[in-house]
């Protein structure tokens, strides 16, 4: 009996073999560090928001430029279209995100008591909402990581989500002695960005060492006599 090849598995393996360079981690790390800037100074909110949007929109383009300069001529390049996540899988991801958010909102209500305020303004500008914001964000990060795993098979991203969840929970229970509650999301995005940036730099450095540059002269040919 002829066994048909698993096309999806082949695409996952090809993607993982062609992307060991850490550029993806660098891109994610820089994006989170830029997001952290939004919580430093309210006077710079328009600049930092614009920088965040620019990084999110053109991050993949910048990553491709880096790979063209440092990666492709070392390991080769083949353009392989990753399988799109099916609508059924997207529905499951949305359901997981929704359940995660509902659970965390319930926990916030039980722990903080009436969401930390009786009016919308008190809730919006109160400490509880700001310190729980990183925990809420990690639910959306979970959906993103599940989508990446479905498309590439890289289960490592689930460990990235777990790290983000733990960091958010730890920060939520640190009593920062300040009235500027933006310190919670700032430290959260700063820690995540630094983690991914350092991890990406380590992988990128390791890639450059294990894959030295090969100078290929077109038309060069060795002849005897």
Inter-residue contact 44 to 212 (CB < 8 Å): no
The predicted structure's pLDDT at residue 106 = 84
Residue 27 reports pLDDT greater than 50: yes
* pLDDT, tens only, 51-103: 778 777 887 788 888 888 887 777 766 665 555 556 777 788 888 888 888 88
219 assigned to some structural domain: no
Residue 213 reports pLDDT greater than 70: yes
2 assigned to some structural domain: no
The predicted structure's pLDDT at residue 83 = 54
* pLDDT, tens only, 105-164: 888 878 777 666 666 566 666 677 788 888 888 888 888 888 877 777 777 778 888 898
The number of distinct structural domains making up the chain is 1
The predicted structure's pLDDT at residue 87 = 73
The predicted structure's pLDDT at residue 195 = 92
Give the integer Cα–Cα distance in Å for 29 and 49.
16
29 assigned to some structural domain: yes
Confidence of residue 190 (pLDDT cuts 50, 70, 90): very high
User: Which stretches does DSSP call E strand in the chain?
Assistant: none
21 assigned to some structural domain: yes
The predicted structure's pLDDT at residue 15 = 61
Nearest to 196 by CA among 18, 36, 30: 30
Give the integer Cα–Cα distance in Å for 139 and 164.
10
57 assigned to some structural domain: yes
Inter-residue contact 39 to 186 (CB < 8 Å): yes
Q: Tell the burial category of 164 from Cβ atoms under 10 Å away from its Cβ (0-12, 13-18, 19+).
A: buried
Give the integer Cα–Cα distance in Å for 98 and 106.
12
127 assigned to some structural domain: yes
Query: Which phi and psi angles does 80 have, rounded to 5°?
Result: -120, 125
123 assigned to some structural domain: yes
223 assigned to some structural domain: no
Domain span including residue 194: 7-210
């Amino acid at each position: 009996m002829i066994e048909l090849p698993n096309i999806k598995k082949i695409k996952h393996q090809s993607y993982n073999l062609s992307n060991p360079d850490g550029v993806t981690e660098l891109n994610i790390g820089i994006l989170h560090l830029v997001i952290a800037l939004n919580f430093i100074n309210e006077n710079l909110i328009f600049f930092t928001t614009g920088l965040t949007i620019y990084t999110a929109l053109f991050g993949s383009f910048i990553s491709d430029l880096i790979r063209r300069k440092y990666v492709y001529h070392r390991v080769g390049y083949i353009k392989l279209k990753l399988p799109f996540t099916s609508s059924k899988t997207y529905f499951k991801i949305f359901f997981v995100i929704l359940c995660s958010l509902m659970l965390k909102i319930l926990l916030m209500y039980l722990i903080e008591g009436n969401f930390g305020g009786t009016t919308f303004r008190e809730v919006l500008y109160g400490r509880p909402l700001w310190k729980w914001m990183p925990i809420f964000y990690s639910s959306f990060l979970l959906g993103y990581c599940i989508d990446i795993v479905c498309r590439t098979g890289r289960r490592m991203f689930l460990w990235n989500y777990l790290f983000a969840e733990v960091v958010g929970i730890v920060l939520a229970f640190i009593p920062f002695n300040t009235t500027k509650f933006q310190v919670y999301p700032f430290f959260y995005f700063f820690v995540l960005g630094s983690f991914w940036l350092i991890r990406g730099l380590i992988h990128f450095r390791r890639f450059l060492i294990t894959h030295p540059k090969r100078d290929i002269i077109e038309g060069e040919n060795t002849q005897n006599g």
